[in-house]
Amino acid sequence: MIVIRDTNLLKGKRLVTTIGFFEGVHLGHRFLINELKEVAKTKGLPSAVITFPEHPRAVLHSDYQPKLLNSFEEKLEQLATTGIDYCIVLDFTVELSRLTAQEFISSILAEKLHVAALLIGYDHRFGHDRKDGFEQYVIYGAVCGMEVIKASPYDEGRTAVSSSEIRKLLTDGDVEDAARLLTYPYQLRGTIVNGYKVGRKLGFPTANIQVDEPFKIVPGIGVYAVWVYLKGEKYKGMLYIGDRPTLQNGDNITLEVNILDFSGDIYNNEITVAFIYYVRGDVKFNSLEELIEQLGHDRETVDRLLTECNTPPAPSQEGKEIPSDIPFFRL
């Protein structure tokens, strides 16, 4: 996949495209992109998705804090796994949001991006105030020599998929179902920072993680079996999210992972954790001895679960429907 940020590089090309924020790049998005590739193959033209580096609502409302399934870099990595030819990165601006659908099709898609055919996602509307629908898009496209095609709905005879549903699953700790809808284990990337070092005293040293993307969803409180990617190696990990009620450390939520069969100084290193299983919820124990005993059981459970499961591919080192109150796009 070639990432295009300078649209001048598209001169002389004709593309078959679809457009969206592609939050999570989930099953529904992949269904649409597979159809896009088939249309492009039939026409003998390259396939391309058009997406945005920032959430459109965040651009229009400075106080909006999106709850993301991917950082922008992670989204590009996942889009690259779909087999499309190009990913066109279009900056979403206030000026862009004011364009009508007809203006967007003619001045952006046709003139600037050289779109020969546009595959419209099911129930997808765009343009200022989203006044027009598919029938109008077809007319506007025809004027520019662009074919506008309605995509097949994903949920015919299937379970409907949405980024909102995936976010809910993660918040509830259901990382297995979230991975099924995403088509890959949910991941968090960050930097290992100094913590309280209490885990080391208990016999379970942990790496405290500061997540790189501040708007990414953090799964619900509890203990998880995760794969840990650190310094080019993969390890089993027992990850905890919570406020450590037994230790009475206040309300601050921490994200820390005990890396099985590992020792060493890893502060300030980059780390990625892939959530595979939810193990248990948070518990306030009556004593440190009870906590230590439970952590031993948890580590045995994590070791067994990760040994039995299929090992996911390592993350690369190199898609959310936008809510309906955004004045330009609705996916």
Question: What CATH number has the domain bearing residue 242?
Answer: 2.40.30.30
| DSSP-assigned letter for residue 108 | I
Long-range (24+ apart) CB contacts under 8 A made by 27-30 are 27/154, 27/161, 27/181, 27/182, 27/183, 28/154, 28/155, 28/160, 28/161, 28/162, 29/319, 30/82, 30/183
The one-letter amino acid at 84: I
Comparing 13-17, 62-66, 130-134, 158-162, which segment has the lowest mean pLDDT? Answer: 158-162
At 43 the pLDDT is 97
Q: Are residues 28 and 146 in the same domain?
A: yes
Which residues are CB-neighbours of 300 under 8 A, at least 6 positions away?
none
- Asked if 217 and 68 count as a contact pair (C-beta separation under 8 A), the reply is yes
Q: Cα separation of 90 and 54, whole Å?
A: 10
Q: What value does the mean pLDDT take over residues 115-124?
A: 87
Statement to judge: residues 156 and 28 lie in one domain: yes
Determine whether 308 is exposed, middle or buried from the number of CB atoms within 10 Å of its CB (0-12, 13-18, 19+). Answer: exposed
User: What pLDDT, on the 0 to 100 scale, is given for residue 327?
Assistant: 33
pLDDT-derived band at 267 (thresholds 50, 70, 90) equals confident
134: domain CATH number is 3.40.50.620
Query: Can you give the pTM of this predicted structure?
Result: 0.86
Query: Which range scores top for mean pLDDT: 167-171, 246-250, 326-330?
Result: 167-171
Task: Indicate whether 235 and 123 sit together in one domain.
Answer: no
Instruction: Output Rg (C-alpha) for the chain, integer angstroms.
Output: 23
Q: For the chain, where are the E strands, in sequence order?
A: 2-4, 15-19, 47-51, 86-89, 115-120, 125-126, 147-150, 187-193, 207-211, 222-230, 233-242, 254-259, 270-280, 329-330
Residue 265, domain extent: 185-308
- The mean pLDDT of 161-173, rounded to a whole number, is 94
Structural domain includes residue 78: yes
> Which residues have C-beta within 8 Å of that of residue 66, sequence separation ≥ 6?
55, 57, 58, 215
Task: Retrieve residue 235's tokens.
Answer: 């390890």
Flag whether pLDDT at 144 surpasses 70. yes
- Residue with the bigger pLDDT between 97 and 322: it is 97
- Over range 159-186, report the average pLDDT: 93
State the pLDDT confidence band at 322, using cuts at 50, 70 and 90.
Answer: very low
